[in-house]
Structure 1
Amino acid sequence: MFEARGGVELYDATLVLAAGIRQVVDDGALPEPGAADARPEVARGTLRDAMDGVDVKGLLGRYRFKDHQALDRPVWVDVREGGKWKQLGTVGSLTG
């Protein structure tokens, strides 16, 4: 189903982001287009705040960002070196 490396992760990330956007739209938290405060940074901040309320079951597990934590899934940190991706480890292993 997902042949490209990282395809499942991208799918789950899209589900999570869509849930956050849906929450912002349903709450009516964004200003009308053309309004004085309809700036991209306002929309980003509103979405960032809304992500605390997102709780989504994806293909790889459950995602919840309240208190800046995801459940059931480690967050991996990769770096691109010499045209290739190198895994550094999880956020937890690198910071704790």
Structure 2
Amino acid sequence: IHLAQIMSPEEIEKDLDLITYNGARCLNIQDRYGLEEGKDANFIVLDGDNPFDVIRNRAKVLASIRKGEYLFKQKPVEYDVELDLGISF
């Protein structure tokens, strides 16, 4: 993943396939792997808009799901900040 930070968006897409779907093929579990009905549904949710930004920004893991059940889920960030901008209405 560190090397992927200097790759193009197209190369990053291929790398993500390499560590996900192709990894499942190497282990001969591709028939159970994926986000389709009847499959195990093992995946993580990353904080990013696209694969390129996920790698480039070393995205935070928001949730991890195994066999359709949450292993963990990050709580949404809450902000409680009062701003004094010196403006009165």
Same fold, TM-score > 0.5, yes or no: no
Computing the radius of gyration from Cα coordinates, the structure with the larger value is: 2
TM-score by length of 1: 0.29
Greater fraction helix = 1
TM-score by length of 2: 0.30
